[in-house]
Structure 1
Amino acid sequence: LEVLIDYLKSKKTTLVGASTGLVVGLVAITPGAGFVPIWSSFLIGALVSPICYFTVVLLKQKLKIDDALDAFGCHGIGGIWGGIATGLFGKTSVNSVARWNGLVFGDFHLFTAQLISILVTIAVAVCGTLICIGIVRIFTPLRVDVSAEISGLDFSQHGENAYPSFNGFDS
């Protein structure tokens, strides 16, 4: 669907869009790969592209998040959706290790467990990140000056440009 979104937005498809669609599809199915029916894996993959796309396009710009590679929008949001989808579509008949069915099959236990797991994972990631930032901040500033950021860190730190056509910030 990422290719379709690209086409609807700009009347052309891109390799970046196709690659991103493949990556977010793999990210989203990973949590439930051994626990959801095959039909639901198609639904999980189809829904993750628009979810991640609009997160990257709308949320990143609105909140002014500096994520040049869209790592959070693709991996973070894709993984969160995959965890939620596992709680929705998990089926004990797919994997006998599973104790509960998903919400779609009338059981709320797996869905609740998935939501709690996602929230705990987010809390641990935020706390760990803040601790790491605090330690790094002791030894070096977290940001470079604006002129170095505009000219590019390759040039300001190494005296050469790895990508001469690059002209600064994300567009």
Structure 2
Amino acid sequence: MTSAISAAAALLSWMFIDTIKNGKTTLVGAATGLVVGLVAITPGAGFVPIWSSFIIGALVSPICYFGVGFIKKKLKIDDALDAFGCHGIGGIWGGIATGIFTQKSINPVARWDGLIFGDYHLFVAQIVGIIITIAVAVVGTLICVAIVRVFTPLRVSVREEQVGLDISEHGESAYPSFNGLDQ
């Protein structure tokens, strides 16, 4: 139940933001909202009250929507599928929300109640866990990148990027009937 409610709330809030920012909703936006709602509820689905799953889902969409924009525009990171903006940021919010909304009476496996129920221990543990996870992911990624760089460059040349990777890497276009339509 918590997963469905979070997903629905996130879908609706993403569509609301799309309507305000772009004047219309899109199927891609609705699907993205649905996914980030599921991402955000995953850490706490079995530990939070149903009403809080609505809040978790409703808040994850604006967090991810503007996070995606910040990553692409301000940090100039090429994340074509918005993987980090949706899954990374949505997962971080889900971890934080678990520390806020967990209720021991829902699942006795939980050692502590969440922040909203008067206990700060789980919230602090979630923040520490998120920081450790980010540190391990960054260090692991840097190690992998360093190893890959020994064998091959990580970026194509500016010319190859302008021509397109289908042509520069494979010598043909994947969709020749669409050539020139994006200009």
Aligned pair partner of 1:119 in 114, 128, 131: 131
Q: Which residue of 2 aligns with 1:128?
A: 140
- 2:34 partner SS: helix
Number of residue pairs aligned between Structure 1 and Structure 2: 168
Distance 2:128 2:36 in 1: 22
Q: Which residue of 2 aligns with 1:144?
A: 156
Gaps of 5+ in 1: none
Q: Which residue of 2 aligns with 1:77?
A: 89
Distance 1:93 1:154 in 2: 56
Q: Which amino acid in 1 is paired with 2:65?
A: Y
Aligned pair partner of 1:20 in 32, 40, 50: 32
> Going by fraction, where is helix more abundant, 1 or 2?
2
- Alignment root-mean-square deviation, CA: 1.5
Asked if 1:99 corresponds to 2:111, the answer is yes
- 1:65 partner SS: coil
Q: Which residue of 1 aligns with 2:20?
A: 8
Give the 3 Å change call, closer, same or farther, for CA 127–48 of structure 1 in structure 2. same
- 2:173 partner SS: coil
Q: Deviations over 1:78-113 (max 9, x none)?
A: 000000000000110110000100000010000000
- 1:30 partner SS: helix
**Where in structure 1 do 4 or more consecutive aligned residues deviate above 2 Å?**
160-167
* Identity rate, percent: 73
Give the TM-score taking structure 1 as reference length: 0.94
Distance 1:111 1:68 in 2: 32
Distance 1:162 1:22 in 2: 30
Give the 3 Å change call, closer, same or farther, for CA 28–166 of structure 1 in structure 2. farther
Asked if 1:39 corresponds to 2:51, the answer is yes
Give the TM-score taking structure 2 as reference length: 0.88
Q: Which residue of 2 aligns with 1:158?
A: 170
Moved more, 142-151 or 117-126: 142-151
CA apart distance, 1:58:
2.7
Q: Deviations over 1:3-26 (max 9, x none)?
A: 111111111111110010001000
Give the 3 Å change call, closer, same or farther, for CA 24–144 of structure 1 in structure 2. same
Give the 3 Å change call, closer, same or farther, for CA 166–68 of structure 1 in structure 2. farther
Gaps of 5+ in 2: 1-12
